[in-house]
Amino acid sequence: MKLIYRQILLTFMCLPFIAQAQQTPAPQQTEAVTIVGATAHLGNGEIIENSLIIFEDGKLTQVMDANTKIQYRGKIIQAEGKHVYPGFIAPNSTLGIGEIDAVRPTLDEDEIGEILPNVRSLIAYNAESKVVESMRPNGVLLGQIVPRGGLVSGTSSVVQFDAWNWEDAVIREDDGLHINWPSAFRRGRPWRDEDPNLKPNDEYNKELQKLSSFFGEAKAYLSGNRDYTNLAYLAIEPVFSGEKKVFVHVNGEKEILDAVQFKKDQGVQHLVIVGGYHAVDVASALVENEIPVLVNRPHSTPAMDYEDYDYPYKLAKLLHDQEVLVGLESSGQMERMNTRNLPFYAGTVAAFGLEKEEALKMITSNTARILGIDENYGSLEKGKSATLFISEGDALDMRTNIISHAWIDGRAISLETHQTELWKRYSNKYKDEDKE
């Protein structure tokens, strides 16, 4: 009986979130748009101080200096003194597959089992998520939706953040397989009377053997007669052909080197390190094997007592200086809500030594390259998707990231969210009180 009451309670707790749906997604672009006079940050390291940007049918047709004589088309937006950016991209996110941490029925990011390559995050993606909606006012318009848990979590997909459903949202379907690399060391568990200090993990080699055996079995199955259907093995096939990347979530120096060796041993064509806290110590191996790194959020504290206080802030720069291809991700505590801070993570990286346009690339063109969507997204270039926004000021600074217009594939999207509605409501309340 208690279980029934609990289920009823959770259902009613979820009702407000179900009833308040996301705004209607924007319709297809029907009129050309011309943006004149803004400082255009192209996302590839270049800036056009006085820019002219034209797009129609969802594609950029002109990106040039405004002094060039060319006929304007369609709706004209005078944006002198403002800034234009490509839409920011959030990799390694659970947006849309989790809503409220305290309400279990709203979480769909993890499945039961250890090795689940055939689990697809895309079909669980909720395009009407209130949290997804709140990304857009900060310029975060695209994301890689990633499952969690187990040794092999499953397969991610890349989506845009203004859609009716997952079918409309998808940009790149089943882009990558995600592996949670085991740790070579672990801390003792005091509740079991173990020494709390770090010590070698006795299960480490066993876990690696389990992973290698699975890949070996998948190869044997795929090269055989396939007398029966094995969905897990079939999900690995695109990894060997290079169509699907392998994202290895790993931080330790030894573990990263083991992941690099795993890439070689298993014939994995494209591997990406996610997290990479100690990747700077093995940067040469990453560069040699053309392995990029999605660095965990800079807004965190050092993991070790002996590390510089600002090590998380400058890690992306340290890797960049050694010619590693770097993107920024935001997993961790309250990761879905904190993803809206993605531009400010790039701003912090810039504040700690990296040139600002290089920091911008870590949430635009670099991330697009890593996710395999750079042909259409990640930079403002002729022929690419018109996924961009206009900001009143520097979009990497929370004081001036004030967005007036945003487009996804040329569609003028709404910037209203539950948060903006509350802000307007209560700001008016206090204005009325001041008049009294």
Q: Do residues 94 and 339 make contact, with C-beta atoms less than 8 angstroms apart?
A: no
Q: Are strands 59-65 and 271-275 parallel, antiparallel or unpaired?
A: unpaired
Q: Please give the Cα distance from 427 to 421 (Å, whole number).
A: 10
- What six digits make up the tokens of 407? 């487009």
Q: Do residues 344 and 90 make contact, with C-beta atoms less than 8 angstroms apart?
A: no
The pLDDT value recorded for residue 149 is 92
The pLDDT value recorded for residue 18 is 41
The pLDDT value recorded for residue 5 is 44
Which residues 6+ apart lie within 8 Å of 80 measured at CB? 36, 37, 38
Looking at residue 225, what DSSP letter applies?
A: -
Chain centre to alpha carbon of residue 131 = 14
- What six digits make up the tokens of 8? 């009823």
Looking at residue 419, what DSSP letter applies?
A: H
Q: Please give the Cα distance from 66 to 431 (Å, whole number).
A: 41
Which residues 6+ apart lie within 8 Å of 403 measured at CB? 137, 138, 139, 389, 390, 391, 392, 395, 415
Please state the pTM of the whole predicted model.
0.91
User: Which one, of 197, 200, 237, 195, lies nearest residue 215 by Cα?
Assistant: 237
Q: Please give the Cα distance from 304 to 30 (Å, whole number).
A: 55
The pLDDT value recorded for residue 15 is 44
Q: How far is CA 101 from CA 107, 334, 434, in A?
A: 7, 8, 37
Sorted by where each starts, the structural domains of the chain and their CATH numbers stand as 95-377 (3.20.20.140)
Burial of residue 53 (number of CB atoms within 10 Å: 0-12, 13-18, 19+):
buried
The pLDDT value recorded for residue 3 is 46
Q: Please give the Cα distance from 99 to 132 (Å, whole number).
A: 9
Q: Please give the Cα distance from 352 to 33 (Å, whole number).
A: 37
Chain centre to alpha carbon of residue 15 = 28
- Written as tens digits, the pLDDT of the chain (436 aa) is 444 445 544 444 444 444 444 568 999 999 999 999 999 999 999 999 999 999 999 999 999 999 988 999 999 999 999 999 999 999 999 999 998 888 888 888 889 999 999 999 999 999 999 999 999 999 999 999 999 999 999 999 999 999 999 999 999 999 999 999 999 888 777 777 777 777 888 889 999 999 999 999 999 999 987 888 999 999 999 999 999 999 999 999 999 999 999 999 999 999 999 999 999 999 999 999 999 999 999 999 998 888 999 999 999 999 999 999 999 999 988 899 999 999 999 999 999 999 999 999 999 999 999 999 999 999 999 999 999 999 999 999 999 999 999 999 999 999 998 888 888 888 887 776 666 5
- What six digits make up the tokens of 209? 């053997």
